[in-house]
């Protein structure tokens, strides 16, 4: 099975900072990655799919890049509501739809 | 606006069967290209996909849970349900229902992501 490894596991940042989270696949997965945001006590929310496509309604400060084995989620200017845990998902990993272990972004 | 809402007991005894229902509102469960799935998240841990059902009744399951899982759909009620048998403390988690787009790429196979989630319900396995 292909493993998805996120780094860092947590990051401390301030409002207005640029934050980058990395997800590495154990082998090439083309652009089959989605990113989710999970605020404390809330369900995950889809941010990006196909590595770079922004889900409808998601602010443009979120962006995704990468292909093959390395993918990044970037928040260009961190807002108070962005303090959350972020997960990547291998979207071509039927029948497990594997997730990364998560990256917590806190103050 | 599509909404999903989980319901069911919050406490289940070890060895018994966990049963949850997800009610879909603001849209029809009988929609092509979308599967209706269950995921779970142990407290403080990551996400695990359990399985999913298509509106015609076809299902797919995570191999790690397949022997204990049954997911079914009731299109007349716009609901789908999860049954997980022989539960242990390791099954204690927040259980989410979610809609997932699923497609097929000729080169790489099935692909899917989860675009709408329920709020989640905590199920504790304890005597």
Q: Taking CB atoms and an 8 Å limit, are B49 and A55 in contact across chains?
A: no
**Quick check: A36 and B60 CB within 8 A?**
no
Structure tokens given for A72 = 């990044």
Could you tell me the pLDDT band of residue B61, with boundaries at 50, 70 and 90? very high
Q: What local confidence, expressed as pLDDT, does residue A94 receive?
A: 85
pLDDT score of B13 more than 90: yes
Q: Which pLDDT value is given to residue A98?
A: 92
Residues B101, B112 contacting (CB under 8 angstroms): yes
pLDDT tens digit sequence for A7-56: 999 999 999 999 999 999 999 999 999 999 999 999 999 999 999 999 99
In a mutational test of the B interface, the residue from A97, A100, A101 whose CB has the highest number of chain B CBs within 10 Å is A97
Partners of A72 in the β-ladder: A22, A65
Q: Residue B108: which pLDDT band, with cuts at 50, 70 and 90?
A: confident
Mutation target for A interface from B36, B103, B107, B111: give the one with most A CBs within 10 A. Answer: B111
Provide φ and ψ at B15, rounded to 5°.
Answer: 80, -10
Give B108's contacts in chain A (Cβ within 8 Å): 30, 32, 92
Q: Return the half-sphere exposure (C-beta side, CA atoms, 13 A cut-off) of residue B96.
A: 25
Q: How many CB atoms lie within 10 A of CB A41?
A: 8
Q: In what order do the strands lie in the sheet with A70-75?
A: A4-7, A19-25, A70-75, A62-67
């Amino acid at each position: 099975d292909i493993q998805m490894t996120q780094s860092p596991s947590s990051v401390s940042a301030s409002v207005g900072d640029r934050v980058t989270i990395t997800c590495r696949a154990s082998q090439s997965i083309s652009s089959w990655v989605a990113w989710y945001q999970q605020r404390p006590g809330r369900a995950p929310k889809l941010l990006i799919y196909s590595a770079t496509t922004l889900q409808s309604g998601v602010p443009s400060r979120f962006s995704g890049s990468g292909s093959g084995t390395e993918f990044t989620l970037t928040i260009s200017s961190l807002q108070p509501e962005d303090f959350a845990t972020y997960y990547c998902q291998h979207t071509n990993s039927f029948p497990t739809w594997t997730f990364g272990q998560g990256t917590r972004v806190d103050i | 606006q599509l909404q999903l809402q989980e319901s069911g007991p919050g406490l289940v005894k070890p060895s018994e069967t966990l049963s949850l229902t997800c009610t879909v509102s603001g849209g029809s469960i009988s929609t092509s290209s979308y599967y209706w799935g269950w995921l779970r998240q142990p407290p403080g841990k990551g996400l695990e996909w359990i399985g999913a059902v298509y509106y015609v009744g076809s299902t797919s399951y995570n191999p790690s849970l397949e022997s204990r899982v049954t997911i079914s759909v009731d299109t007349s009620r716009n609901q789908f349900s999860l049954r997980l048998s022989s539960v242990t403390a390791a099954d204690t988690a927040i259980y989410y229902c979610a809609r997932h787009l699923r497609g097929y790429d000729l080169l790489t196979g099935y692909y899917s992501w989860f675009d709408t989630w329920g709020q989640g319900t905590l199920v504790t396995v304890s005597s």
